[in-house]
């Protein structure tokens, strides 16, 4: 019988750069929405604030931490 083997899911330089850029853009959109939209449009202001934050949080739920291969011929993906 084989033992469980675990593998890490390292991030490459380009993936880290693009992730950082995406986070900066989402935070920038939220900040611009708070500052630039007038008080007359509260729904638009809240959407400009909440939509980028919801995208970041929902994307973080699918972040892969690693992989495990058990005794059977399967591959388990370890998410956050």
The answer to whether residue 67 scores a pLDDT higher than 80 is: yes
In a domain, 30, yes or no: yes
Domain count, the chain: 1
Copy the structure tokens of residue 69: 């291969």
In a domain, 2, yes or no: no
pTM of the model: 0.71
**Mean pLDDT, rounded, for 21-32:** 90
Instruction: Tell me if 4 sits within 8 A of 71, measured CB to CB.
Output: yes
Q: Which domain holds residue 43?
A: 23-56
pLDDT at 36: 83
Could you report the per-residue pLDDT of 40-66, keeping only the tens digit for each?
A: 888 888 888 889 989 999 988 888 888
Could you report the per-residue pLDDT of 2-16, keeping only the tens digit for each?
A: 677 787 888 899 999
* CA atoms of 24 and 31, how far apart (whole Å): 10
Residue 4 CA, chain-centre distance (Å), reads: 28
């Amino acid at each position: 019988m084989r033992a469980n083997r675990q593998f890490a899911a390292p991030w490459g330089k380009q993936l880290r750069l693009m992730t950082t850029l995406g986070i900066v853009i989402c935070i920038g959109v939220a900040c611009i929405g708070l500052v630039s939209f007038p008080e007359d449009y509260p729904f638009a202001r809240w959407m400009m604030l909440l939509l980028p934050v919801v995208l970041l949080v929902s994307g973080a739920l699918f972040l892969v931490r690693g992989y495990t291969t058990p005794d059977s011929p399967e591959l388990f993906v370890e998410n956050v």
